[in-house]
Amino acid sequence: MQGFFALYTWATASLSPIFRWVRFFNWMPVEYRDMESAIDSTSTKYVPSERDVERCISNGWWDLAQRIVLLSHEEGIDLSYIVRQSVQRVQKHSSDLLKLLDRHHNKVDVVNTAFQWAESPYEIFLAVKFSNRWSSPGALVVSNESLDIEGNMLRYVSTGTQSDKPKRYQLILELFDDVVKDETKVSAVSMGRFTITLKKARPGVWKSLTKSREKLPNQQVWWDMQEKHQLACDDFISTLAMLD
């Protein structure tokens, strides 16, 4: 009995590599074997091509892709562009698949946009950035934009992508006083930023942007713009004081 088990163990160990090779060979698709045969052909010289290396990368035939790249060096054929492009495509698909492992992958984060503000006696100036902080990177492009102004309420909403994650950008302000809706001006100033100019319904110097007079976490003073209009604000206040 011991002799039988010893013989069985020896036979299994000896034939195992053969079985593994047969299983591997049979498992690989016909297209793979055809490509491998073309590369190994001794009757016809194989010439590396963009089509072949792209096909190998797309199908995950990394061993063949590596051989084609090495042969391209010998033949003086530049495959760098198509190889990089194909690898990046595979990496993107892999990254997208990994994201699906997160059950909350479709959740859209809400970002209160960073903004700066300044004023003149007649207008309010807002500079808005698609980020939660003015000093942080944000989305460069957004879509589905909407801007609603009614009385002293301002609501801006848009959607975009930041760090490959969907975001909903919003700016909701209860202004210190009413503004004239029809006089609103919106301008794109750079990638990821835009400005809003609001006309005050009643001339005045607010000194505070919001009715609550509280500074919001995402709020800053637009100093460059404020300096341009500070003299007009000072003169307006002085004139009111004289009238009183």
The predicted-structure confidence for 155-169, as pLDDT tens digits, reads as follows 999 999 887 788 999
Q: Which long-range contacts (CB under 8 A, 24 or more apart) does 185-189 make?
A: 186/147, 189/127
Between 100 and 186, residue with greater pLDDT:
186
Q: What is residue 8's predicted lDDT score, i.e. its pLDDT? A: 45
Tell me what pLDDT residue 2 has.
Answer: 53
Mean pLDDT of 97-123: 87
pLDDT band at 12 (very low <50, low <70, confident <90, very high): very low
**E strand or H helix at 240:** helix 223-243
Please report the domains of the chain, with CATH numbers, ordered by start residue.
18-99 (no CATH), 109-243 (2.60.40.790)
pLDDT score, position 162? 84
Give CA separation, 176 vs 152, 205, 212, 221, in Å: 7, 10, 7, 15
pLDDT of residue 127: 97
For 151, left (φ over 0), alpha (ψ -120 to 50), or beta? left
Q: How confident is the model at residue 102 (pLDDT cuts 50, 70, 90)?
A: confident
pLDDT at residue 10 in the model: 47
3-state secondary structure of 68: helix
pLDDT band for position 11 (cuts 50, 70, 90): very low
Percent of the chain with pLDDT strictly greater than 90: 67
Residue 4 has a pLDDT of 47
- The helices-and-strands tally (H runs, E runs) of the chain is 6, 9
Residue pair 117/222 in contact by the 8 Å Cβ criterion: yes
Is residue 175 a contact partner of residue 152, using CB atoms and an 8 Å limit? yes
Which amino acid is it at 40? D
Residue 96: CB atoms within 10 Å:
11
Summarised one tens digit per residue, pLDDT across range 177-209 is 999 999 999 999 888 999 999 999 999 999 899
Tell me phi and psi for residue 234, to 5 degrees: -65, -45
CA atoms within 13 A on the CB side of 14: 6
Q: What is the mean pLDDT of the chain?
A: 88
For the ranges 97-106, 120-129, 170-179, which has the lowest average pLDDT?
A: 97-106
Q: Using 50, 70 and 90 to split pLDDT, how confident is the model at 98?
A: confident
The β-bridge relationship of strands 179-190 and 114-119 is unpaired
Q: Give the pLDDT of residue 3.
A: 55
pLDDT of residue 17: 54
DSSP letter (8 states) at residue 94: H
Residue 188 and residue 113 in contact, taking contact as beta carbons nearer than 8 Å: no
Please report, as a single letter, which amino acid is at residue 181: K
Radius of gyration of the chain (CA): 33
H or E stretch including 141?
none
pLDDT in tens, 18-72: 544 544 455 788 899 999 999 998 888 999 999 999 999 999 999 999 999 999 9
The Cα 128–Cα 192 span in angstroms is: 8
